[in-house]
Amino acid sequence: MNKISMFVASIPLITAALVVPAPALAIDAIKSLPTSELAWELTPEGVAFAPLKGDRFSESYMAMVRLPAGLVSPAHSKTANMFGVMVSGAMVHTVVGSDLKEQIVLPEGSFYTIPKNVPHVSKCVSSVDCVTFLYQDGKFDFVPVSK
């Protein structure tokens, strides 16, 4: 048998060695949470949180967040890093004191991150409520800052 024939004959053995059998999957391994089952909690300011993972008041967490159309937050910072993906509506996040001409409108599908301790203002600039998926690598807080 020549070298090419030996290589071709060994392909099924090489492929079989690379295939790792999948472990038995638990029936509850995938968590599905349709929009209709989100448990929205409304804050006094009108912002709604639907918890997905973690307790936002004591640890890192993931949540869906809904801001009313036109809402402009007071200047504030967070003591944890924030990462978000826009689901609907359009938002702007600006660093306090920055040039407002440099605002970037974030439509649906956009990603943003706001580092901890950065004073900023968040605005829902669309005519519909803004919904975002939010992850914070620490507990939720809202530290007011003066402009």
Q: For each of the chain's 147 residues, which pLDDT tens digit applies?
A: 565 555 445 555 555 555 555 566 677 789 899 999 999 999 998 999 999 999 999 999 999 999 999 999 999 999 999 999 999 999 999 999 999 888 999 999 999 999 999 999 999 999 999 999 999 999 999 999 975
26 neighbors 7 (Cβ within 8 angstroms): no
Flag whether the pTM goes above 0.75: yes
Rounded Cα gap, residues 146 and 12, in angstroms: 68
Rounded Cα gap, residues 87 and 66, in angstroms: 10
Rounded Cα gap, residues 20 and 86, in angstroms: 37
Q: Name the architecture of domain 25-144.
A: Sandwich (2.60)
Sign of CA dihedral 54, 41, 110, 102: negative
The amino acid that residue 1 corresponds to is M
